[in-house]
């Protein structure tokens, strides 16, 4: 089966056109192909599927085989893929995900998608819906004992759970050591993505991310959105303004609007294409 390797500011996935057929054993396939030494290499796999609710459906599986609900960087790549591969001529798209339907606006320059803006919907702030085990309805700049120390955290869901920690320095953190402790803390029944964030100014944030199921990645779109929301909730940034989130793979621009909707804008890129000769597939009944 043919595949396309793509990335959104370094958050790289292996994409499959599954409009007529799809790989079998999706979790096993994600683990095998994501391996950067013995596979293609990536943060996981993404399936582009037909949908009876939207223009297309996106399913994604992390490098550890777990299925994710949503990925902001991956969905931008889906928008670029379906437009530039001729699967649609629309520049405004709806994409079905496990966290609901997301709406994309494609910026076209010379028949090429140069940037994608994603309507990420409203953030979820209620502890039980994120989910977070916490005695209050919301977790906003709360001091808690976690990962072996006391930290101030803010928790937000953008379709998947995020824990945001504002720090004086993010470059010196040993995420390989501390990341698993955050991801698997008992506060988070579904595990959690953790964003470690340095405030550069009231419109600029520097972020590193430990993603559940993938470890540290170069970028996380939903994490950037959750971080911008947390910055507004903590009085660091303002609603309605453009917030630049600097990640290891590049920058995203996020707006937490006055009507509570979060918008994220960033690029998407093709890397290479190939074929997995021994990948077992099954036909879709559409």
Give the residue numbers marked as catalytic. 71, 220
Helix (H, G, I), strand (E, B) or coil at 75: helix
Six token digits for residue 93: 């798209």
Q: Are 243 and 236 in contact (CB under 8 A)?
A: no
105: β partners: 92, 117
| Number of continuous H segments (helices) and E segments (strands) in the chain | 4, 20
Q: Which residues have C-beta within 8 Å of that of residue 127, sequence separation ≥ 6?
A: 133, 134, 136, 137, 138, 139, 155
For tokens 């076209």, what's the residue? 108
Six token digits for residue 46: 């993404």
Give me the phi and psi of 137, to 5 degrees please. Answer: -70, -30
CA angle 133, 138, 139 (to 5 degrees): 70
Helix (H, G, I), strand (E, B) or coil at 227: helix
């Amino acid at each position: 089966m043919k595949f396309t390797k793509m990335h959104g500011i370094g958050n790289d996935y292996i994409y499959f056109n599954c409009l007529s057929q799809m790989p079998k054993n999706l979790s096993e396939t994600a683990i095998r192909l994501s391996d950067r030494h013995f596979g293609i290499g990536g943060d996981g796999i993404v399936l582009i599927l037909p949908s009876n609710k939207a223009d297309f459906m996106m399913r994604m599986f992390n490098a550890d085989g777990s299925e994710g609900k949503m990925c902001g960087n991956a969905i931008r790549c889906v928008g670029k893929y379906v437009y530039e591969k001729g699967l649609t001529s629309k520049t405004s798209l709806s994409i079905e995900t496990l966290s609901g339907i997301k709406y994309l606006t494609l910026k076209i320059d010379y028949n090429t998608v140069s940037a994608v803006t994603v309507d990420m919907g409203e953030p979820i702030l209620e502890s039980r819906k994120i989910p977070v085990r916490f005695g209050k309805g919301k977790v906003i700049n709360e001091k808690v004992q976690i990962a072996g120390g006391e930290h101030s955290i803010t928790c937000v869901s953008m379709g998947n759970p995020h824990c945001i920690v504002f720090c004086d320095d993010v470059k010196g953190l040993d995420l390989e050591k501390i990341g698993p402790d955050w991801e698997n803390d008992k506060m988070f029944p579904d595990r959690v993505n953790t964003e470690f964030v340095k405030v550069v100014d009231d419109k600029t944030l520097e972020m590193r991310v430990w993603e559940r199921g993938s470890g540290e990645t170069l970028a996380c779109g939903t994490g950037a959105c959750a971080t911008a929301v947390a910055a507004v909730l903590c009085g660091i940034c303002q609603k309605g303004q453009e917030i630049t989130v600097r990640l290891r793979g590049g920058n995203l621009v996020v707006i937490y609007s006055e009507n509570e909707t979060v918008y994220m804008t960033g690029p998407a890129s093709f890397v290479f294409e190939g074929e997995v000769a021994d990948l077992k597939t099954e036909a879709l009944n559409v």
